[in-house]
Amino acid sequence: MNATDRTPADLLRSALAADPARPLVTFYDDATGERVELSVATFANWVAKTANLIQDGLSAEPGDRVALLLPAHWQTAVWLLACSSVGVVADVAGDPARADFVVAGPGRFEAGLACRGERYALSLAPLGRRFVPAPPEGYADYAVDVPTHGDRFAPYAPVDPEEPALIVAGAEYTSAELVERARADAPALGLMSPASRLLSGLPYDTWEGLSAGLYAPLATGGSVVLCRNLDQVSEETLTRRIDSERVTATAR
């Protein structure tokens, strides 16, 4: 990654320029058997479409707060990078009543109704499928709306690295702090080179989970095998996964 990268969106652009075809996020849900692998290019495409939805569909502006009521999931990672691209604050598991917008997944739809702004629902079904027959009342369906947005994104206003970008577990971080902390975390997580591949079973509701499950691999040119419901697999299955996915380090 480039030393001049100061926002998560910068890191993604550098990753895209370096090797768009390499895997960036490989996601497992061990409650459903789902496996999804996203290359840098595919992940960046989802981020661009979602950032355009945030900027044009929601008319969100830098500094607005988006409550993300979502688990550790590949679509959550997309929303985190899309928020960074626009300059809005991603408030992970934040109070919907204090947010300008809310994005919620199963089990959090009722809580999200406390937000007076627009709301998006994610089914978190395999392949990002839409709700059938309709999303929860009070919500728009992300899977229906996001494909209509463009594959390239340009913010209307430059993102200031020194402005707030993330709130998690009561702590607030600027974009520059995110990048600095992610780089600093990398050695302890075993992310020693661009070939590093980290398997993380940590939730996304702490900095440690977000760093291992997204930011540190992105900051070092590595990749992440993000596992939801990892406690439902045996050690034998996990060992086979580590081998088949060429995992070099784990965070559990």
Instruction: Please state, as a whole number, how many other Cβ atoms lie within 10 Å of the Cβ of residue 12.
Output: 23
Yes or no: say if 176 and 5 are a contact pair by the CB < 8 Å rule: no
Whether the pLDDT of residue 236 is over 80: the answer is: yes
C-alpha distance from residue 108 to each of 10, 116, 119, 157, 197 (Å): 31, 15, 12, 32, 31
For strand 249-251 and strand 223-228, is the pairing parallel, antiparallel, or unpaired? Answer: unpaired
Whether the pLDDT of residue 144 is over 90: the answer is: yes
- Residue 42 region by backbone torsions, left for phi larger than 0, else alpha for psi between -120 and 50, else beta: alpha
d(CA 145, CA 57): 9
What pLDDT band is residue 128 in, cutting at 50, 70 and 90?
A: confident
pLDDT at 127: 84
Whether the pLDDT of residue 3 is over 90: the answer is: no
pLDDT at 5: 95
Yes or no: say if 81 and 153 are a contact pair by the CB < 8 Å rule: no
d(CA 9, CA 219): 10
Please, which contacts does 118-124 make with residues 24 or more away whose CB atoms are closer than 8 Å? Answer: 118/58, 120/145, 122/70, 122/75, 124/70, 124/71, 124/73, 124/75
d(CA 136, CA 123): 10
Q: Average pLDDT, whole number, for the chain?
A: 97
> CA angle at residue 41 from 178 to 226, to 5 degrees?
55
What pLDDT band is residue 1 in, cutting at 50, 70 and 90?
A: low
pLDDT at 250: 98
The DSSP output letter for 135 is P
d(CA 50, CA 7): 17
Which pLDDT tens digit goes with each residue over 172-226?
999 999 999 999 999 999 999 999 999 999 999 999 999 999 999 999 999 999 9
- In sequence order, the 6+-apart residues with CB closer than 8 A to the CB of 36 are 26, 27, 74, 126, 127
Mean pLDDT within 39-48: 98
Q: What is the 3-state secondary structure (H, E, C) of 144-196?
A: HHHHHCCCCCCCCCCCCCCCEEEEECCEEEEHHHHHHHHHHHHHHHCCCCCCC
Whether the pLDDT of residue 11 is over 90: the answer is: yes
Whether the pLDDT of residue 155 is over 70: the answer is: yes
d(CA 57, CA 53): 5
Share of the chain above pLDDT 70, in %: 100
Mean pLDDT within 232-248: 97
pLDDT at 37: 97
Yes or no: say if 134 and 61 are a contact pair by the CB < 8 Å rule: no
Instruction: Please state, as a whole number, how many other Cβ atoms lie within 10 Å of the Cβ of residue 59.
Output: 10
pLDDT at 2: 79
Share of the chain above pLDDT 90, in %: 96
Question: Which is nearest to 61 in space by CA: 99, 87, 40?
Answer: 87
Mean pLDDT within 37-55: 98
- Quote the pTM value: 0.98
